[in-house]
Amino acid sequence: MGIVAGLDSSPDFTRIVVCDSDTGAVLRQGYAPHPLESPEGGGRPADIDPQAWLLSLGEAAGGGLLEGVQAIGVSAQANSVVPLDTQGNTVRPAMVGGDKRSQVAAADLIDALGGREAWAQAVGSVPQTGQPVTKLRWLARSEPEAAARTAVLLQAHDWLVWQLLGRPARRTTDRGGASGTGYWSAATGGYRPDLVELALGHQAILPEVIGPADAAGTTPEGLLISAGTGETQAAAFGLGIGLGDAVVSLGASGSVMAVHTEPLVDQSGMITALADATGMHLPVVTTLNAVRALRGTAELLGVPDLESLSELAMKSTPGAHGLVLLPYLEGERTPNLPHTAGTLAGLRRESMRPEHLARAAFEGMLCGLADALDVLRGRGVDVRRVFLLGAAAELQAVQAAAPALFGTQVVVPQPADYAAIGSARQAAWALGVSQGTLDPRTPPVWQGAVAQVLEPGEELAVGQAVRQQYVSVREQTHPGAL
């Protein structure tokens, strides 16, 4: 078929991979940071001129990187809103990221529709800080003039696709991107314009939701552009996960997602009912505390880095001599304990050693993520294999404990640009369908991620005992939280 490209516009940079459309082999790569001014006090800005994404894209594609490419797929950061006026110009900078400004807006929206269950029934999830629907509510309350001028709503990947196509009259998105907005239902496959009006104060034009293998259009130069999707969905597609697979991401906070055949309605707000990039569903459960619990423990123990903390933890034994850390250092979302603090239980004279606390930190982090996995399992999601992502997945203490604590095979893929690879795979699918060589119901089969496979083996019983020790402390400290 030829060669295709995948473009991932993350919060900080653009990555592009050029792949063989038959095998998925990466042929060329490009990278460029976004030209962003750092806000006062550091951190990531909540408002960004989307032109920065185009400038970064142009730089990443320099040097003839896209020469010979026949199709491009685009993924971009989730929880982004690009408000446009009737002429297609941005009304204000794009609103991106977690954006804590919209905390009050989320609570307002929950009350305005009649509670959490009403939202869960409407769109499969409860409004959260940073979600597009809550950003619209914040905009209506804080910048009413900008809200009044907003006529069209796009997300980051929708806007980039539209720009690549030369700003046509037709604007598109995909199921994956639409499912994160808070005003599209994965269960019905349709928008809820009334929720846009509830948040923004008036109706707005929303992009057409096209199928996973559909093309958004063709550039004036004849380059096919696929539907595009959110960064999370693209990464899942790039990893090649399917039914029975879950992905556990170890960042400062953690997330667990799995492929499922149907959308999950969850009034607790613990599950976000996303659609994936293939026509299936991708329920996600997040925890507020993952690697931040390890970093906090390293600082407490005076250990210089996470590798040293891991080495220290390996000097202990499973169960950390009875020490249990509930790692709720930032409060917690799974279980829903927003105002709680962490707990260290099981202190005895023999357990008060640095290696046992280090071990308890790793076990606490992984048991917290196992709780998130159990939320999905409890709703009928099949989990036979767990993909473990993030730099911390390479640590020996994580790899030693994860299979037995999760109770399943653990796969640790080699670091790669999986969101960009997933976008390229989507481009190959759309290209194949347009040429009549691929079925719109079946994506191209690409080489799987190069990975290390870890089995629970004989450690399973020990791991499950450690897990039960953790659950007992959680139940004693926060009865009925899960």
Q: Which of 10, 14, 8, 19 is nearest to 425 (CA)?
A: 19
Residues 259 and 242: beta-carbon distance below 8 Å: yes
pLDDT for residue 41: 52
Over the chain, what is the mean pLDDT? 95
Average pLDDT over residues 210-222: 96
pLDDT for residue 97: 82
Q: What is the DSSP letter of 221?
A: T
- In 201-321, which residue ranges form alpha helices assigned H by DSSP? 231-239, 291-301, 306-313
| 26, β-bridge pairs | 19
200 φ/ψ sector (left φ>0, alpha ψ -120 to 50, else beta): alpha
DSSP string, 346-409: ---GGG-SHHHHHHHHHHHHHHHHHHHHHHHHTTT--EEEEEEESGGGGSHHHHHHHHHHHTSE
Average pLDDT over residues 220-228: 95
Percent of the chain with pLDDT over 70: 98
Residues 206 and 212: beta-carbon distance below 8 Å: no
Q: What is the DSSP letter of 35?
A: -
Residue the block writes with tokens 């796009």: 154
Average pLDDT over residues 112-126: 92
Give pLDDT tens digits for 334-359. 998 989 999 999 999 999 999 999 99
The pair of three-digit structure tokens given for residue 272, joined into one six-digit string: 């976000």
Residues 468 and 460: beta-carbon distance below 8 Å: no
Q: Which phi and psi angles does 102 have, rounded to 5°?
A: -95, 15
pLDDT for residue 37: 67
Average pLDDT over residues 118-128: 91
pLDDT for residue 36: 73
Q: Is the pLDDT of residue 302 over 70?
A: yes
pLDDT for residue 267: 77
Please give the C-alpha separations between residue 245 and each of 203, 260, 332, 386, 401, in angstroms, as whole numbers. Answer: 39, 9, 25, 6, 19
Give pLDDT tens digits for 277-293. 999 999 999 999 999 99
- In 170-265, which residue ranges form alpha helices assigned H by DSSP? 175-178, 193-200, 231-239
Confidence at 39, pLDDT banded by 50, 70, 90: low
Q: Is the pLDDT of residue 45 over 90?
A: no
99 φ/ψ sector (left φ>0, alpha ψ -120 to 50, else beta): left
In the chain, how many H helices and how many E strands? Answer: 15, 24
Residues 74 and 423: beta-carbon distance below 8 Å: yes
pLDDT for residue 290: 96
d(CA 411, CA 212): 26
Give pLDDT tens digits for 364-395. 999 999 999 999 999 999 999 999 999 999 99
Peptide bond into 335 cis (omega under 30): yes
Give pLDDT tens digits for 176-198. 999 999 999 988 999 999 999 99
Q: Is the pLDDT of residue 236 over 60?
A: yes
Give pLDDT tens digits for 17-30. 999 999 999 999 99
pLDDT for residue 459: 93
The pair of three-digit structure tokens given for residue 132, joined into one six-digit string: 């597009």
Task: Give the dihedral sign, CA 82/84/90/93.
Answer: negative
Please give the C-alpha separations between residue 472 and each of 304, 336, 475, in angstroms, as whole numbers. Answer: 32, 17, 5
Determine the Cα angle at 308 with ends 303 and 310, to 5°. Answer: 115
Average pLDDT over residues 238-245: 95
